[in-house]
Structure 1
């Protein structure tokens, strides 16, 4: 029995929220163990490639797609664009951030700044209109980000390095926002887009990582890590964070659009911050709590401002969905 488009979109949103929440807590915990950020990014890409590269080759052969290198079902241009922002840069920036800043900061700044970047990019590229309600929600998000990031930036004058992680988190969110807007603009199929992202990341990163670590130009602790830790990162970061959540997020973008999709992740900041407190023992200071409340309120307010479209807007969304189903 096939699920309705609405049920598929809601299910994709639920799975995405669960994996994104776990990602923040697990990535910070991983930063306190053996592996470095580029090691984790390598295992993420390698784990996803074990599944998605054979899948991509099968799709290209079966459907006779004019893909790239017989592996990516998309053209080289789309493969490179989505892979650069949604695969390579996002992973490297996000994992590096966890080595400087705690998971509570990531809980606020990554899912919190994502609707901000996405809204601005969607207005610029997709010509989406920023309604007064959405603008007010985004103002709350900016205020929450400033409460968290501003305090760490002031701490930089006393030798603190948390601000580096905060900037890396916001940069990672920007890269993912670019990917989500590209997915919507080109009506990308969820599976094909995720495969293309992984193909580009594999070809661009895995050989470079191997050579640079062999020459000693890039630090690596992969050889010193326990086998269980390496296997876990392959399965969770590659299989869960890339294969599963990559498909569910793109499916969510197809149904709800890029702005509403990123705003529907309103539970991620609160859940991941709670997980950081419970499982990692991180303190929740007043500015973090206030920033978390503002970001969550901004996301929820933005959702309310986009869930009641006018008749013309509903017709536009329906037409876009028909185009995507035809192109997919």
Structure 2
């Protein structure tokens, strides 16, 4: 019994290590994606840099796992977690500031994942989890209302981030329900998105990478293809399998604290009341949903 308890603790530690790596990579993804948009990388260019590079790098593994990849469930995961999510998120980066991405993407994900996990995967959530989600939701709602009521032109970007969260939530729950290995799911996302998007991109070649420095293209190719896809997807998938979709979704709410803190000095973005309130609510929601339920050992 004690041996099983020890194995369980070790497994949970591994889960939180994978989650921590995923959180750090997501933080970098938000900052580097916004930097690419500011450097005039178009939506189509961002997509091809991310998935075209990844497809070329991982093609030998895709070919070896082709029987696992080319099945309808894997392809559906790829369309949802790759094509639909990435189109939405990169469209958001074209107009919305990185601070909004830092709050909306990981802030909304726990809400989407918890609701979808409840209905699609039969997961049951504690009162602490629902309370944390409620507090985080309050901050997100305040930020969205501030954007809609202001004269800012980036509300379309915010709405795109909302849709991105919905697609990622569906992907997360289906990944856990269908129990695909994280590595196979990663290859499936790369394959499905590349196969579907490349035909469209071929019609845009005359405008490809106009005015974008080569250094920025190289940075985007490395981070988007290697870090944000291979490293992040595998770590995220392993964390989901160990910790559960809802727990992982809640932990992702730590990203706003890191990404928004860095985005303000890096990009000179404005600090608004809604931004501050949303950040506080998301951090409090994370504490309520993840820290308070932990049972302390009796000494």
Fold shared by both chains (TM-score > 0.5): yes
Mapping 1:153-164, distance limit 5 Å? 153-155=148-150, 158=151, 160-164=152-156
Determine the C-alpha separation between the residues in 1 that align with 2:118 and 2:58: 32
| Partner in structure 2 of residue 199 of structure 1 | 191
Determine the C-alpha separation between the residues in 1 that align with 2:233 and 2:293: 23
Aligned partner (choices 77, 96, 99) of residue 101 of structure 1: 96
Aligned partner (choices 140, 162, 165) of residue 173 of structure 1: 165
**TM superposition outliers: structure 1 runs of 4+ over 4 Å:** 305-308
Aligned-CA RMSD value:
1.9
Structure 1 residue 245, shift from structure 2 partner: 0.3
| Partner in structure 2 of residue 320 of structure 1 | none
Task: Indicate the SS of the match to 2:252.
Answer: coil
Does 1:225 pair with 2:226? Answer: no
Give the gaps of 5 or more residues in structure 2: 1-8
Does 1:27 pair with 2:33? Answer: yes
In structure 2, do the counterparts of structure 1 residues 172 and 120 end up closer, same or farther at CA, with 3 Å as the change threshold? same
Higher helix share: 2
Structure 1 residue 221, shift from structure 2 partner: 4.1
| Partner in structure 2 of residue 294 of structure 1 | 281
Range that drifts further, 229-238 or 127-136: 127-136
Does 1:273 pair with 2:280? Answer: no
| Partner in structure 2 of residue 311 of structure 1 | none
Structure 1 residue 306, shift from structure 2 partner: 6.0
Mapping 1:206-221, distance limit 5 Å? 206-210=198-202, 212-214=203-205, 220-221=207-208
TM-score of the aligned structures, taking structure 2 as reference length: 0.90
Q: Are the equivalent residues in 2 in contact too, given 1:16–1:245 (CA < 8 A)? A: yes
Structure 1 residue 110, shift from structure 2 partner: 0.5
| Partner in structure 2 of residue 137 of structure 1 | 132
Q: 1:141-193 deviations in whole A, cap 9, x for unaligned?
A: 221111111111112xx4x3221111111111111111110111011111111
Does 1:263 pair with 2:258? Answer: no
Query: Would you say how many aligned residue pairs link Structure 1 and Structure 2?
Result: 287
Higher relative contact order (CA 8 A, sep 6+): 2
Q: Are the equivalent residues in 1 in contact too, given 2:28–2:259 (CA < 8 A)? A: yes
Mapping 1:73-152, distance limit 5 Å? 73-152=68-147
Give the gaps of 5 or more residues in structure 1: 61-66, 68-72, 309-328
Determine the C-alpha separation between the residues in 2 that align with 1:19 and 1:269: 13
